[in-house]
Structure 1
Amino acid sequence: MGSHKTNVVGTLNMLGLAKRVGARFLLTSTSEVYGDPLQHPQVESYWGNVNPIGVRSCYDEGKRTAETLTMDYHRGASVEVRIARIFNTYGPRMCIDDGRVVSNFVAQMRETWVRLHHQALRKEPLTVYGDGKQTRSFQYVSDLVEGLMRLMEGEHVGPFNLGNPGEFTMLELAQVVQEAVDPNAKIEFRPNTEDDPHKRKPDISKAKELLGWEPAVQLREGLPRMVSDFRKRIFGDHGTTEGAGTGASA
């Protein structure tokens, strides 16, 4: 409920402010607007496949409503807006606490990414829900920042998919974490959660053409940078060499 209220009421408040002061408004939407997509990869013109009464719908539908409000203000009140549909993003400085294991699969795989890293660094099994065959795409934070800057400085409203089209299964992701953090880490399977999307991959043709943007950092390049940052924050400034994987340094 809190997630839906934030996305709807919060967006409405900020749109009102943008109208009053004549500001350009950026809506950081999400790939979750596509739900469990029947189209793969997902293009911006795809309307999505969302369960409106599912356990994840408060976030999915909240962002979809936020996009509706943003375009209403753009068309009806001439507010200058930009819409970015952000796919899973990772990198240094993420909040470690976001990775705690919770009963429901959280809306953005960003938190699952953090949880896997935290588990590996703590010598805990890597938790994979379901059979691990569901896919996600992961972009490095600097690529996202560059995309947002180009969107805000450009003339196109959007929405634009901002994500890395490199696609990994959850099992492959866990194995990449193994390689970078601890090759001896065990992978533990648990029952999957309701309405977990089976596939997620952005089509970024629109961003390439109109923004001149595409991600530059691939998973196995960006991952060690994140691992290095997590080691420093979990174990101290000097890090630790115990159990350090082959890719632990930046």
Structure 2
Amino acid sequence: MAKRILITGAAGFLASHLCDRFIKEGYEVIGMDNLITGNLKNIEHLFKLPNFEFYHHDVTTFVHVPGKLDYILHFASPASPIDYLKIPIQTLKVGSLGTLHLLGLAKEKKARILIASTSEVYGDPQVHPQNEEYYGNVSSTGPRGVYDEAKRFQESLTMAYHRFHGLETRIARIFNTYGPRMRLNDGRVIPAFIGQALRGEDLTVFGDGNQTRSFCYVDDQVEGIYRLLLSDYSEPVNIGNPEEITIKDFAEEIIKLTGTNQKIVYKELPKDDPMQRQPDITRAKQVLGWEPKISRSEGMKITYDYFKNLSKEELKKSEHKDFSKHIRR
């Protein structure tokens, strides 16, 4: 009998790729999303499949899924600064109440649950690269605290259920991930730069551009999460690409990739924006036998081609398409 998995945030960028992976592996997949930031176009190709169903639902209210569940992936959360600064209360609620409800469901169903945490638990780090033993440098009252602290609380609650109830839990600390299905207007570095290049605008770099990021292609990220879910390891695991680059140098790469002649313009650095971000993936290598395989040049070409081929007409059409017959509420 096929294993059955619930994936929250299923219409989002990363979780939609996870839906694809588990369908490919022969699982029965239940997608769940309240569509605050998700887009049903990301999973519309799955609606015709007998082993996929979708619930339009907000996990902060309650969560009920009839029948057995073997696994749960909790990916329901705004993940870009534009989103979580616009909807801060919902961000805090999905990290706290949503996580509580899904841990309760996992306990009821005797299911293994993987929580999508983030490199943002490290805040503006004073340790570089960041390993899982580092406690972080986070402002609980700053504007980014609604996301950072929601994820930190999420990890604490997950470990409490693991230790007190013996629940099988996994925690993935996800670093910057990119690829097809990202939103051009979600405020993250890659879609922001590509969107500006496609519109013929100058590329905006905040601060002096010497802050660093490390970008992991989505297929590599999915493979790491898949291996972590099926592993026997319950402590947090960094999943990301350790190849570090400054934002200024990355902007130059985008200009070269797109063949445009835009300039780089500099604006004030947002409050609490981390200056360094690079994962130490020693634990992932040792525990999961995982490390990223896809180079940034290869992944960025695929990503740019995706955005370049996404015409305004297609975007408008996708926003108004009627998916109601496929949705369970």
Name the TM tier (shorter chain): 0.7 to 0.9
CA change 1:21–1:67 in 2 (3 A) is same
> Are 1:53 and 2:130 counterparts?
no
> Aligned partners of 2:183 and 2:207: how far apart in 1?
25
> Aligned partners of 2:251 and 2:91: how far apart in 1?
28
> Aligned partners of 1:210 and 1:94: how far apart in 2?
29
Please state how far the C-alpha of 1:176 moved relative to its aligned partner.
1.0
> Are 1:212 and 2:300 counterparts?
no
> Aligned partners of 2:213 and 2:184: how far apart in 1?
20
Query: What is the total number of aligned residue pairs between the two structures?
Result: 226
| 1:69-148 equivalence runs, <5 A | 69-99=157-187, 111-148=188-225
Map Cα deviations across residues 130-153 of structure 1 (whole Å, 9 max, x no partner). Answer: 101111100000000000111011
Please state how far the C-alpha of 1:112 moved relative to its aligned partner.
2.3
Please state how far the C-alpha of 1:38 moved relative to its aligned partner.
0.5
Amino acid aligned to 1:219: R
Please state how far the C-alpha of 1:223 moved relative to its aligned partner.
0.3
Which residue of the partner structure matches residue 230 of structure 2? 153
Name the SS for the 1:85 alignment partner.
strand
Please state how far the C-alpha of 1:171 moved relative to its aligned partner.
0.5
Name the SS for the 2:310 alignment partner.
helix
> Aligned partners of 2:281 and 2:206: how far apart in 1?
28
Name the SS for the 1:128 alignment partner.
strand
> Aligned partners of 2:145 and 2:284: how far apart in 1?
27
Map Cα deviations across residues 74-120 of structure 1 (whole Å, 9 max, x no partner). Answer: 01111110000000000012122324xxxxxxxxxxx2221111110
Structure 1 stretch displaced more, 194-203 or 227-236: 227-236
> Aligned partners of 2:152 and 2:311: how far apart in 1?
36
Q: Choose the corresponding residue for 2:252, options 175, 183, 186.
A: 175
Please state how far the C-alpha of 1:235 moved relative to its aligned partner.
5.9
Q: Which has the higher strand share?
A: 2
Which residue of the partner structure matches residue 245 of structure 1? none
Which residue of the partner structure matches residue 267 of structure 2? 190
Amino acid aligned to 1:179: K
> Aligned partners of 2:198 and 2:122: how far apart in 1?
33
Amino acid aligned to 2:223: E
Unaligned runs of 5+ residues in structure 1 are 100-110, 238-250
Please state how far the C-alpha of 1:45 moved relative to its aligned partner.
0.5
- Backbone CA RMSD of aligned residues: 1.2
What percent of counterpart residues are identical? 49
User: Would you identify which runs of 4 or more consecutive aligned residues in structure 1 move more than 6 Å?
Assistant: none
Please state how far the C-alpha of 1:2 moved relative to its aligned partner.
2.1
> Aligned partners of 1:96 and 1:61: how far apart in 2?
26
Which residue of the partner structure matches residue 240 of structure 1? none
Please state how far the C-alpha of 1:172 moved relative to its aligned partner.
1.1
Unaligned runs of 5+ residues in structure 2 are 1-88, 315-329
> Are 1:200 and 2:263 counterparts?
no
Please state how far the C-alpha of 1:179 moved relative to its aligned partner.
1.0
> Aligned partners of 1:57 and 1:234: how far apart in 2?
35
Which residue of the partner structure matches residue 92 of structure 2? 4
Amino acid aligned to 1:225: I
> Aligned partners of 1:195 and 1:209: how far apart in 2?
32
> Aligned partners of 2:245 and 2:99: how far apart in 1?
32
Name the SS for the 2:139 alignment partner.
coil
Please state how far the C-alpha of 1:183 moved relative to its aligned partner.
3.7
CA change 1:164–1:67 in 2 (3 A) is same
Name the SS for the 1:142 alignment partner.
helix
Contact 2:155 2:171 survives alignment (8 Å): yes
> Aligned partners of 1:185 and 1:220: how far apart in 2?
20
Which residue of the partner structure matches residue 121 of structure 2? 33
Name the SS for the 2:254 alignment partner.
helix
Please state how far the C-alpha of 1:44 moved relative to its aligned partner.
0.2
